[in-house]
């Protein structure tokens, strides 16, 4: 067997040039999965037979001279909250165990049309609610860099799959940092595009005004490539932005000369000293590469966590009402309909999901709506306004992705507030609807990776990828 390239762009190029076959690529990645998956548990389902059949079809097309897509033969893993036709999609919840959607999510359709091969559905915190992938009904995912530690969450399975080499790229969803935070903890690149840049059709909703799909990759160029492939307007998603997609791949190699990089002087405290040191090193590296560092203020940022944990659970309590034992998934029989609803939801939802549903229902209830949910929406507006004022002075803003490196299992599981604080730097961007990405930039405590977060204004993916590419180059390439 020829040596297998490591990045998605290299794999696609080698297959198109007939230097290697799609089947060889898939077999190599499935062998890696077989070797380590039992230790890591990145997947809820490995789709080995389907992946091999798709690879053989691509090889037949190439042999016959038929056109293939730009990602032909590239293995990709999908977070198990994205609908895949005829393939179990569980959201890592007992309430959806065994449910097979009758359609594909738009991102799945786009990737398949481009020739990418789905190798499996990845584990997550149940219904994407969590920061460590400890809340899955099917057991936790372990960090490939240290299996005693969490991979982050909620897209921990997708981050771990890329970090372990099970797939060169994967998709996750990001509601309050669920792509960027696990990317930081697993030492890979993670991108949350602008809200509406990528269709949410077929993504099982957590909080509809915050959710966004994006990629994990080992390089900024690969992350740009996959973002390009899945971005664009979709008539099936009313929040999808009808705007052309520029070349993010090109942007990733353009450098930062002349760019203005924002340093937040009133950033919420709490980051480990080593994380702060890496952030300062990132500013120095970008300045050395020709960028100007400009101080900015974001005074409303300290309220973001509070606003998020009212808005997101409120939307979740509405979205998750559909899981009631009637139309799909788990059903616990009971003497009457109301008893069946209660029994099904009590048996089907885990503790964290129940906690957020109750919190959201309370925030939306009569007498409390204005005091909690209404006020949180006003704070959301203030945060967006703060960002907009800052972006009048700078092209992008740099912060840590996570205040801490990957922590050990059980360390925060009994302290929800401590767990929620892991998303303190990622949540504000979701509230504003702006893009953000995490790029590995050296190591912190225990020799574990630190991610630097690049934030940009709405539809500002081009400057974001420019800075991401420069950070990667300064860090010495892929970690």
pLDDT, tens digit, 9 for 90 and up, residues 439-449: 999 999 999 99
* Rounded Cα–Cα distance for residues 17 and 68 (Å): 12
Is residue 317 annotated as a catalytic residue, yes or no?
A: no
* Residue 1 pLDDT class (50, 70, 90 cuts): very low
Helix, strand and coil content of the chain, in percent to the nearest 5, comes to 45, 15, 40
Strand partners, 438: 190, 453
What is the per-residue pLDDT across 305-364, written as a single tens digit (0 to 9) for each? 999 999 999 999 999 999 999 988 899 999 999 999 999 999 999 999 999 999 999 999
Is residue 208 annotated as a catalytic residue, yes or no?
A: no
Query: Is residue 373 within 8 Å of residue 360, measured between CB atoms?
Result: no
What residue segments make up the domains of the chain, in order of their start? 8-252
The catalytic residue among 178, 240, 300, 438 is 178
What is the per-residue pLDDT across 288-310, written as a single tens digit (0 to 9) for each? 999 999 999 999 999 999 999 99
447 by DSSP, 3-state: which? helix
Q: For all residues of the chain together, what is the average pLDDT?
A: 96
The catalytic residue among 45, 79, 110, 412 is 79
* Residue 417 pLDDT class (50, 70, 90 cuts): confident
The DSSP 8-state label assigned to residue 371 in this structure reads: I
180 by DSSP, 3-state: which? helix
Q: How many residues does the chain have?
A: 479
* Rounded Cα–Cα distance for residues 156 and 181 (Å): 9
> What does the pLDDT average to over 108-128?
98
* Residue 2 pLDDT class (50, 70, 90 cuts): low
CATH topology for 8-252?
Answer: Amidase signature (AS) enzymes (3.90.1300)
* Rounded Cα–Cα distance for residues 475 and 464 (Å): 16
* Rounded Cα–Cα distance for residues 342 and 350 (Å): 13
Rg (CA), the chain: 21
Residue 145 reports pLDDT greater than 80: yes
Is residue 121 annotated as a catalytic residue, yes or no?
A: no
Written as six digits, the tokens of 389 are 């004022």
The catalytic residue among 93, 131, 132, 154 is 154
> What does the pLDDT average to over 169-176?
98
What is the per-residue pLDDT across 248-299, written as a single tens digit (0 to 9) for each? 999 999 999 999 999 999 999 899 999 999 999 999 999 999 999 999 999 9
């Amino acid at each position: 067997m020829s040596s297998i390239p490591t990045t998605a762009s290299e794999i696609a190029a080698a297959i198109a040039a007939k230097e290697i076959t799609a089947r060889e690529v898939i077999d190599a990645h499935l062998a890696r999965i077989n070797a380590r998956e039992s230790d890591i548990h990145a997947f809820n389902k490995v789709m080995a037979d389907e992946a091999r059949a798709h690879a053989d079809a691509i090889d037949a097309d190439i042999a016959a001279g038929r056109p293939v897509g730009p990602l032909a033969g590239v293995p990709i893993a999908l977070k198990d909250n994205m609908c895949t036709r005829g393939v179990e999609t569980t959201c890592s919840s007992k309430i959806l165990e065994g449910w097979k959607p009758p359609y594909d999510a738009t991102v799945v359709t786009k990737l398949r049309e481009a020739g990418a091969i789905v190798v499996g559905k990845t584990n997550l915190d149940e219904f994407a609610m969590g920061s460590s992938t400890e809340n899955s009904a099917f057991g936790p995912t372990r960090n490939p860099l240290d299996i005693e530690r969490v991979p982050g969450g909620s897209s921990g399975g997708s981050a771990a799959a890329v970090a372990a080499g099970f797939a060169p790229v994967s998709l996750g969803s990001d509601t309050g940092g669920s792509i960027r935070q696990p990317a930081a903890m697993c030492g890979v690149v993670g991108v949350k595009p602008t809200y509406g840049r990528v269709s949410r059709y077929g993504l099982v909703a957590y909080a509809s005004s915050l959710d966004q799909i994006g990629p994990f990759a080992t390089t900024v160029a690969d992350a740009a490539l996959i973002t390009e492939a899945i971005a664009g307007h979709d008539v099936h998603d009313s929040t999808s932005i009808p705007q052309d997609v520029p070349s993010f791949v090109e942007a990733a190699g353009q450098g930062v000369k002349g760019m203005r990089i924002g340093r937040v002087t009133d950033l919420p405290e709490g980051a480990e000293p080593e994380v702060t040191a890496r952030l300062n090193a990132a500013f120095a590296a970008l300045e050395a590469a020709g960028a100007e560092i400009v101080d900015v203020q974001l005074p409303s940022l300290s309220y973001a966590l509070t606003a998020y944990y009212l808005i997101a659970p409120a939307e979740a309590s509405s979205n998750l009402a559909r899981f009631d034992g009637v139309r799909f998934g788990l059903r616990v029989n009971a003497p009457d309909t109301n008893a069946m609803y209660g029994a099904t939801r009590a048996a089907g939802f885990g503790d964290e999901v129940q906690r957020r549903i109750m919190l959201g229902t309370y925030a939306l209830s009569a007498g409390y709506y204005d005091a909690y949910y209404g006020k949180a929406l006003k704070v959301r507006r203030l945060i967006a306004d703060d960002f907009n004022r800052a972006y009048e002075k700078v092209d992008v803003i740099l912060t840590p992705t996570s205040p801490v490196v990957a922590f050990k299992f059980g360390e925060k599981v009994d302290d929800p507030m401590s767990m929620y604080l892991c998303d303190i730097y990622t949540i504000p961007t979701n509230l504003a609807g702006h893009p953000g990405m995490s790029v590995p930039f050296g190591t912190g405590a225990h020799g574990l990776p630190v991610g630097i977060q690049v934030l940009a204004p709405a539809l500002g993916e081009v400057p974001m990828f420019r800075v991401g590419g420069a950070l990667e180059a300064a860090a010495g390439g892929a970690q």
